[in-house]
Structure 1
């Protein structure tokens, strides 16, 4: 049992938690940052639909949450397959008696590639994972809420690469910048329906997939110079920002971008 999950087991009366009676769907939640977000939402009382492109990953995290007293279901979802969105949203809504929260976390960088060598397949795949998926999944999710007359929250996971681009990641940087502006655009359109849309922009984050980088002494020395707080965030630091944006404390926030980077973009 992880330290994060132990906190959920000790939550006490779940009916009094800030996200009690809310149902959230989190993409890319079978590992890393998405997993941390799903657990944080469950700790706050939400029913969480854990989605991942591999059913086994989604089920493993859902079972982890359930074993510690939370409420979760695992659903297979490859976010690049737009034709699957409505089926997954309907399944999550039926399980949770409606939907309230969508966290678009699925994404990922393409291999470091000089701009002059980026091919169309790499570009298309990167935009599909990081931007197109959030666009059309948010559209389907918001459409369900508007039809039901139900308020809700959408949180998009972007990156500091949207404003401080990384070398040889032109397609990824562009996708994350598009995601930030997309969030601002739909925040205005969805405000009359009480659907709040915000973005979290992480800087360097240590997860199971990136630990090999950030545990390297060479990278640790470089980050001490580039990050005022001295190193990468943990996944739980980013999850805490998502949790805030989904909770009652963010009821007057929409179209905002919350940066979690230890001061990385200040230098």
Structure 2
């Protein structure tokens, strides 16, 4: 009898681009990919934070370089990806939120969130895919979406709209690029405790709401995203495309 072998979670020899890598989920994703053996290009608007991250990763023996990037600037992003690619793996963790009651949504806030969460994500994914197609290479493209891409939330109409849209273009791109071996998926976290979300967790009524909706006995941490990122980037998920991996502690199980 010939027994099957588990596909590898290693990413040795792979080049990865992580957008929104200066903090939180993006930073954790970059470290996870580096630990799995990938050569990681970390990208974000804050060059100083990227330099600190690269120094920390390099000190741990990981391969990392920095690239200042604002994904809402589509033209510059496309030029940067074309210059520094092709990338075998993309993790797009760049995103923003400006929450308000739907009756009070302001057009500038709508445009700001949409430019980053939707337009930026769309054209960044496209840019990486273009490089792969030109090089005749397969790849794994991952957008960090949200549990709010599958449910609604008070004061989150704009954010939910952008994340639902990410799920839509992910499925369409997965269908279009499947024959080239390019996989496109999302990871949908629940509320993750980071420096940016600390202000939410510090409000007792909001923390109580989060803890009531999450069915596991704790809130999310960045480490909860690291394994899913490596899984979707690697051959262990070779038959997964056009899917959403919910890391929500059971939030959407209701």
TM-score over 0.5 (shorter chain): yes
Partner in structure 1 of residue 3 of structure 2: none
SS of 1:234's equivalent? coil
Native 8 Å contact 2:32 2:226 kept in 1:
yes
Native 8 Å contact 1:22 1:46 kept in 2:
yes
**What does 1:70-85 align with in structure 2 at a 5 Å threshold?**
70-85=62-77
**What does 1:52-67 align with in structure 2 at a 5 Å threshold?**
52-67=44-59
Partner in structure 1 of residue 127 of structure 2: 140
Partner in structure 1 of residue 4 of structure 2: none
Partner in structure 2 of residue 86 of structure 1: 78
TM-score w.r.t. structure 2 length?
Answer: 0.92
Residues 82-127 of structure 1: CA deviation (Å, up to 9, x unaligned): 111133214432xxxx4201111100211x2121221221111111
TM-score w.r.t. structure 1 length?
Answer: 0.88
SS of 1:245's equivalent? helix
CA distance in 2, matches of 1:232, 1:128: 29
SS of 1:26's equivalent? strand
Residues 144-163 of structure 1: CA deviation (Å, up to 9, x unaligned): 11111011110011111112
Deviation at 1:225, TM superposition (A): 2.1
Residues 218-264 of structure 1: CA deviation (Å, up to 9, x unaligned): 54443332211023211111121111000111001100100001111
SS of 2:94's equivalent? coil
Partner in structure 1 of residue 88 of structure 2: 100
Higher mean alpha-carbon deviation, 239-248 vs 16-25, is at 16-25
CA distance in 2, matches of 1:156, 1:102: 8
1:116 aligns with 2:103: yes
CA distance in 1, matches of 2:165, 2:129: 19
1:163 aligns with 2:182: no
Native 8 Å contact 2:170 2:186 kept in 1:
yes
Partner in structure 1 of residue 178 of structure 2: 191
CA distance in 1, matches of 2:210, 2:103: 28
SS of 1:58's equivalent? helix
CA distance in 2, matches of 1:222, 1:117: 22
**What does 1:175-214 align with in structure 2 at a 5 Å threshold?**
175-214=162-201
Partner in structure 2 of residue 249 of structure 1: 236
Partner in structure 1 of residue 246 of structure 2: 259
In structure 2, the gaps of 5 or more residues are 1-7
CA distance in 1, matches of 2:78, 2:149: 29
In structure 1, the gaps of 5 or more residues are 1-15
Higher mean alpha-carbon deviation, 174-183 vs 118-127, is at 118-127
Residues 53-82 of structure 1: CA deviation (Å, up to 9, x unaligned): 111122211111111100000110011111
Given candidates 29, 51, 55, the residue that maps to 2:21 is 29
Native 8 Å contact 1:232 1:261 kept in 2:
no
Identify if the C-alpha distance between structure 1 residues 126 and 217 changes in structure 2 by more than 3 Å, giving closer, same or farther: closer
SS of 2:246's equivalent? strand
Partner in structure 1 of residue 41 of structure 2: 49
